[in-house]
Chains A and B, each alone.
Chain A
Amino acid sequence: MPRSTRVVGDGGSISKGKICSLKARAVLIDMEEGVVNEILQGPLRDVFDSKQLITDISGSGNNWAVGHKVFGSLYQEQILEKLRKSAEHCDCLQCFFIIHSMGGGTGSGLGTFLLKLLEDEFPEVYRFVTSVYPSGEDDVITSPYNSILAMKELNEHADCVLPIDNQSLFDIISKIDLMVNSGKLGTTIKPKSLVTSSAGAVKKRHQKPFDAMNNIVANLLLNLTSSARFEGSLNMDLNEISMNLVPFPQLHYLVSSLTPLYTLADVNIPTRRLDQMFSDAFSKDHQLIRADPKHSLYLACALMVRGNVQVSDLRRNIERLKPSLQFVSWNQEGWKTSLCSVPPVGHSHSLLALANNTCVKPTFMELKERFMRLYKKKAHLHHYLQIEGMEESSFMEAVSSLSGLIEEYNQLDATKSMPVEDFPRLSIAV
């Protein structure tokens, strides 16, 4: 389900423990009503403005073309109107968060249509996209088509993309669950921790605990915005993320990892555990997407720390972890850091690492392979081609865009084993 949200609401009034006048700066869009209705009947119903919704009944049938072309043109005016309204409420609009999935029809198709709209209508406002990529065992047959078609749009119109996959989220939840149930952590688990308190602990064996998984993504966004929302000795605003982590316009895909994934009861954590937090951030278990950054090339890395962590802790850990990571020759010290004084609820400190790393290449290559397997057989293609505005060339262009991206990563990877040499400096006549 796609929606666009802006960062930070203003203060509101609180009565009887409920927030009454705070409204999310959000537009919720779905081409079927089920999910949005559930939200509007749930505990957060007062937070969302019922006028900031766009829904339809029939859904996009897991078809990017339906979402992008059909619903795009149908709802363009409405979308613009609601966006403008939301923007008017902002003193200073800095960025859009677009949250969607790549594999379906609405999130993927209409979501990327929205992306283009945002670029045209608000060209100076940053566009951060959180995209859920389809895993290998995805049950939507056309997800490769939808994803590739959406990728082209992300390549061209997003400032920054945080790819996520369900499998990673599921693994994280399973790991937490294991620790909670095994009693290993005993009384050190705080029951009110944001990660464990959601109603969605593994309900049934075979059902995916989407609530808990989505909670992880929510924590990602919370930590991403923490330095913009709270004070700290080294602030990092959202526009700094793009500035520091995107060295070339197309290479804007960031691998995120979050730690801790469970709470620790001790408030005064001795230094050893603090260092463990940094190590964990570079462990594959904590990533929100399957990838192997340690064996690929870092273009840039951001560490956003929350809680009672000081600059010396940060420096010590960077020095410690640096030797095991490979950075591109022109960015050997490619670290961007921030210190926010306020930790997340239930934790004493936390760390979000965002890496621009060539390790996303395999994900994209796999996606391309799955696409080609379907496309070669022309399977399900007619569902797309029958939509006005869609032609075979649309597919070809999308693949070409992805291939171009993969090639850029290839070229960077090729520099991995080369010795780092300094470029000859300008010679000056004194």
Chain B
Amino acid sequence: MSIVTVQLGQCGNQIGFEVFDALYTDSHCPQGLCSKRENEAYQASCKERFFSEEENGVPVARAVLVDMEPKVTNQTLSKAAQSGRWKYGQHSCFCQKQGSGNNWAYGYSVHGPRHEESIMNLIQKEVEKCDSLSGFFIIMSMAGGTGSGLGAFVTQNLQDQYSNSLKMNQIIWPYGTGEVIVQNYNSILTLSHLYRSSDALLVHENDALHKICAKLMNIKQISFSDINQVLAHQLGSVFQPTYSVEGSCHYRRNPLGIDWQVRPPLSGLPTLGKASLNRGLHFNMSIANLVILRGKDVHSADLGGFKDSALYTSWLEPINAFNVWKTQRAFSKYEKSAALVSNSQFLLKPLDTIVGKAWNMFASKAYIHQYTKFGIEEEDFLDSFTLLEQVVASYCNV
């Protein structure tokens, strides 16, 4: 079962590279801590999901690169090719020259329709290379113009064209203190549109990743490259193959593995390790949790804490809300590693903050003319606000 990745904008492409690199590096890690046969099965499964075979033996990432200006995609393509270990397909890239100007409306209403055919054709070609398509992984930021606006447009198209396939969007939550001034507008427009067309939103906050680099990894001068590598590491530990049944040697067939009954509108990926149980006023209620364990002693790990019903909303039994995947094959260099994918109130506060800030700006009408210029009207903003307030309220009442 294969996943086709769509990398959009500078952020999406920079991250995409790190993700494939992490996946490749892990799958070729000699220290698997397991039998040779098992290691080979793992490698084969990873390969099938994320890479297709090129003639001269260099694996080609199952990815489509999209950007509205050429610098980043050129860099990404050459970085991969230079590594000699894996690469992107020669014709997997679509780019233009002028960028989206951090304007969601431009990405969605101008670039989207204009380049719809070309982009969807590229994706189609990639899909055709898969024996069996599991779904799409779309990497994009919320703050800019291409990832956010064009990303929303492409996701909608994927919904229409491949309605039976799973779509998971990896969205990057910008730093609280401006990377882009209109980031809150771009974010609410992105989120409201993705809600209608995506199956799952996997969220990473730049602030959180930054903290990991600073506090857990002690990096002094933190670059976007550092941040992206942390992210890629987390994603790799979630996406790499895991057993489908305890003890079986067959790797899970559906890597995007969303078994949750509840349609998960938002899911969050906190730091590697256990989630902290904060029993204060702001207790974080979960709708669903997925723990992925890799490496030594996975079968003896005590996961009792995750099954506590106090963690979960009253209308869900822990047995339905909590899932565990285990694999003896270690991830990357780590003897033991654990990942938690959580659909909980964790992102309620950040979401609420962004909606609040966007609303304040909207109330003063600042920057609106930049959006109406390209067909996004005040009404579209109001629709987005309404939808997101509903999401906030829903999560509040969990």
Query: A residues within 8 Å of B by Cβ?
Result: 91-92, 94, 231, 233-235, 237, 239-240, 242-249, 271, 300, 310-313, 315, 318-319, 322, 329-337, 339, 422-423, 425-428, 430
Contact = CB atoms under 8 A, between A and B. Distances in A.
Nearest to B228: A233
Given A235-B72, A248-B369, A335 B178 contact: yes
Contacts of A333: 176-178, 181, 357
Interface of B: 10, 14, 69, 71-72, 75, 96-99, 101-103, 145, 175-182, 210, 213-214, 219-225, 227, 355-357, 359-361, 363-367, 369-370, 385-386, 389-390, 393-394, 397
A422 B222 contact: no
Contact of A428 (B219, B360, B386): B386
B182 A239 contact: no
Given A231-B75, A312-B214, A337 B102 contact: no
B10 A426 contact: no
B366 A331 contact: yes
Contacts of A426: 359, 385-386, 389
Nearest to A425: B359
A381 to B, nearest CB: 36
Nearest to A311: B224
B51 to A, nearest CB: 26
Contacts of A318: 177-178
Contacts of A430: 390, 393-394, 397
6 contacts: A233-B224, A240-B180, A329-B360, A333-B357, A339-B224, A430-B390
B328 to A, nearest CB: 37
B69 A423 contact: no
Nearest to A274: B221
A239 B390 CA distance: 34
Contact of B363 (A234, A242, A330, A332): A330
Given A91-B97, A243-B103, A231 B71 contact: yes
Tell me which of A233, A271, A310, A311 has the highest count of chain B C-beta atoms within 10 A of its own C-beta: A311
A422 B224 contact: no
B181 A244 contact: yes
B178 A334 contact: yes
Contacts of B360: 329-330, 422-423
B222 A246 contact: no
B183 to A, nearest CB: 9
Contact of A300 (B97, B181, B394): B181
B101 A242 contact: yes
B378 to A, nearest CB: 13
A356 B282 CA distance: 39
Contacts of B356: 422, 425
Contacts, number: 135
A363 B131 CA distance: 68
B227 A311 contact: yes
B102 A315 contact: no
B101 A240 contact: yes
A233 B225 contact: yes
A91 B224 CA distance: 31
Nearest to A300: B181
Contact of A243 (B182, B222, B361, B397): B182
Contacts of A339: 224
A370 B365 CA distance: 34
Contacts of A234: 10, 179, 224
Contact of B389 (A311, A312, A319, A428): A428
A310 B221 contact: yes
Q: Which of A94, A245, A333, A334 has the most CB of B within 10 A?
A: A333
B370 to A, nearest CB: 5
Contact of A337 (B72, B179, B225): B179
Nearest to B396: A430
Interface core residue of B210, B366, B390, B397 (most chain A CB under 10 Å): B366
Contacts of A94: 97-98
Contact of B181 (A311, A315, A336): A336
Leading 3 A-B pairs by shortest Cβ distance: A239-B101, A335-B178, A312-B222
A349 to B, nearest CB: 12
Nearest to A126: B101
A216 B288 CA distance: 58
B393 A249 contact: no
Nearest to B370: A243
A335 B363 contact: no
B366 A247 contact: yes
A24 B367 CA distance: 34
A312 B363 contact: no
Nearest to B100: A239
